[in-house]
Structure 1
Amino acid sequence: MTDGRLVTTAELARALGLSARTIQRYRQTGLLEPELVSAGGHARWDIDKVRSRLRSLAERAE
């Protein structure tokens, strides 16, 4: 469980055991949407929501 704060793409990738590039690719293809995008275009993520989304995608793929 996380404390509800939003994290960077690199922090999200570390938490999920994925590369930052994989997260970026999922974002580009529309599989994942960040919780917030800063004025500079930097994504901020809710780890629990992303975990849930990835779990849902994996279940559909089975």
Structure 2
Amino acid sequence: MTPRPKLVSTGMAAAELGIDCVTLARWWRAGLVDPEFVTAGGHARWDVEKLRRELRERARRNEG
């Protein structure tokens, strides 16, 4: 059985990435990144490692 990822709030995920939480929320609204889970109240929960991978892959695609 694989361990469940640690899910964090938008503010915590943004802090881990060294960006502002408004930036991460804007990327989400623009469809550039997707949270792992969205609560019933509309709050995103992020797997930071998955988010880092998504951003690296996007940067690689944009380089070429």
Q: Normalized against structure 1, the TM-score is what?
A: 0.92
Aligned length: 60
Larger Rg computed on CA atoms: 2
Deviation at 1:46, TM superposition (A): 0.2
Q: Normalized against structure 2, the TM-score is what?
A: 0.89
5+ residue gaps, structure 1 = none
- Deviating above 4 A after TM superposition, structure 1's stretches of 4 or more consecutive aligned residues are none
Q: What's the % identity of the aligned pairs?
A: 47
Give CA deviations for 1:24-51 in whole Å, capped at 9, x if unaligned.
Answer: 0110010111100001000000001100
Deviation at 1:52, TM superposition (A): 0.2
5+ residue gaps, structure 2 = none
Q: Secondary structure at the residue paired with 1:45?
A: strand
Q: Secondary structure at the residue paired with 1:41?
A: coil
